[in-house]
Amino acid sequence: MSIGKNVYKQKIVMLGDFAVGKTSLVNRYVYNIFSEKYIATLGVRVSKKDVTLTLNNKTINVTILLWDINSEDRFQRVLPQYIMGANGAVIVADVTRPETIENLKHHIEYFRTYAGGKGIVLSLNKTDLINYDQFGFLKQKMERDAIFSKMQTFFTSAKENQNIEDLFINLARLSIVSKEG
Amino acid sequence: MSDIVYNAIRKRVKVFFEFIDSELMIHPTQNDFWEYLNIRIPENPVPLTDIIFELVGKEIEITLLLKGEKKSINIPAIQRETEKDRNTYFDLELITCDRSDYPLIVIIEDRTRIFSYQQKLVQSRNETKLLQKQLAEKNKALEKLNTIIQRQNLDLEKRVRERTQELQSARIEIIRRLAQAAEYRDPETGSHIVRMSKTCVLLAREIGLSEKDCDLIYHGGSMHDLGKIAIPDAILLKPGPLSSKEWQIMKQHTIRGARLLSDNDTDLMITGRIIARSHHERWDGNGYPDGISGENIHIFARICALADVFDALVSDRPYKKAWPFERAISTIEEGSGTQFDPEIVKAFLDISDKAIKLQQDFKDKST
Ligand SMILES: Nc1nc2c(ncn2[C@@H]2O[C@H](COP(=O)(O)OP(=O)(O)OP(=O)(O)O)[C@@H](O)[C@H]2O)c(=O)[nH]1
Ligand SMILES: [Fe+2]
Ligand SMILES: [Fe+2]
Ligand SMILES: [Mg+2]
Ligand 3 centre distance from Cα of residue B345 (Å)? 18
Domain residue ranges in chain B: 3-110, 117-183, 187-361
- For A43, the enclosing helix (H) or strand (E) is none
Q: Do B79 and A43 touch (CB under 8 A)?
A: yes
Q: Do A38 and B74 touch (CB under 8 A)?
A: no
CA dihedral B168, B171, B172, B173 (to 10 degrees): 120
Q: Is A45 a pocket residue for ligand 1 (Cβ < 6 Å)?
A: no
**Does B138 touch chain A if contact means CB atoms closer than 8 Å?**
no
Average pLDDT over residues B23-29: 95
Contact list, A74 vs chain B (CB under 8 Å)? 125
Contact list, A84 vs chain B (CB under 8 Å)? 57-58, 61
Give the model's confidence band at B367: pLDDT under 50 very low, under 70 low, under 90 confident, else very high: very low
**Which pLDDT score, from 0 to 100, does residue A6 have?**
56
Cα–Cα nearest to A83, from B60, B72, B57, B53: B57
SS3 B87: strand
Mean pLDDT estimate for chain B: 89
Tell me: pLDDT of B183 over 70: no
* CATH for the B187-361 domain, from 3.40.50.720, 1.10.3210.10, 1.10.3720.10, 3.40.1190.20: 1.10.3210.10
**Which pLDDT score, from 0 to 100, does residue B190 have?**
64
Average pLDDT over residues B253-274: 88
Nearby residues of B317 by Cβ (< 8 Å), 6 or more positions away = B187, B188
Q: Is A9 a pocket residue for ligand 1 (Cβ < 6 Å)?
A: no
Q: Is A107 a pocket residue for ligand 1 (Cβ < 6 Å)?
A: no
Give the model's confidence band at B290: pLDDT under 50 very low, under 70 low, under 90 confident, else very high: very high
- For B282, the enclosing helix (H) or strand (E) is none
**Which pLDDT score, from 0 to 100, does residue A162 have?**
97
To the nearest whole angstrom, how far is the Cα of B124 from the nearest Cα of chain A?
Answer: 9
Average pLDDT over residues B230-257: 90
Q: Which residue of B has its CA nearest to A76?
A: B122
Top-level class of domain B3-110? alpha beta
Contact list, B121 vs chain A (CB under 8 Å)? 75
Tell me: pLDDT of B177 over 80: no
Nearest CA to ligand 1 atom 26: A38
ipTM of the complex: 0.90
**Which pLDDT score, from 0 to 100, does residue B64 have?**
94
- For B278, the enclosing helix (H) or strand (E) is helix B267-278
Domains and CATH numbers, chain A: 2-180 (3.40.50.300)
Nearest-atom number in ligand 1 for the CA of A20 is 19
To the nearest whole angstrom, how far is the Cα of B7 from the nearest Cα of chain A?
Answer: 28
Tell me: pLDDT of B295 over 60: yes
**Which pLDDT score, from 0 to 100, does residue B230 have?**
85
Q: Quote the CA–CA distance of B76 and B53 in Å, as a whole number.
A: 14
Average pLDDT over residues B206-212: 96
**Which pLDDT score, from 0 to 100, does residue A5 have?**
45
Tell me: pLDDT of A44 over 90: yes
Tell me: pLDDT of A179 over 80: no
Nearest-atom number in ligand 1 for the CA of A129 is 1
Nearest-atom number in ligand 1 for the CA of A158 is 31
Tell me: pLDDT of B53 over 80: yes
Tell me: pLDDT of B34 over 90: yes
Give the model's confidence band at B187: pLDDT under 50 very low, under 70 low, under 90 confident, else very high: low
Q: Quote the CA–CA distance of A126 and A43 in Å, as a whole number.
A: 23
Give the model's confidence band at B7: pLDDT under 50 very low, under 70 low, under 90 confident, else very high: low
What is the distance between the terminal CA atoms of chain B, rounded to a whole angstrom? Answer: 142
With contact defined as beta carbons under 8 Å apart, do B222 and B175 qualify? Answer: yes
pTM score: 0.65
Residue B340: Cβ within 10 Å count: 24
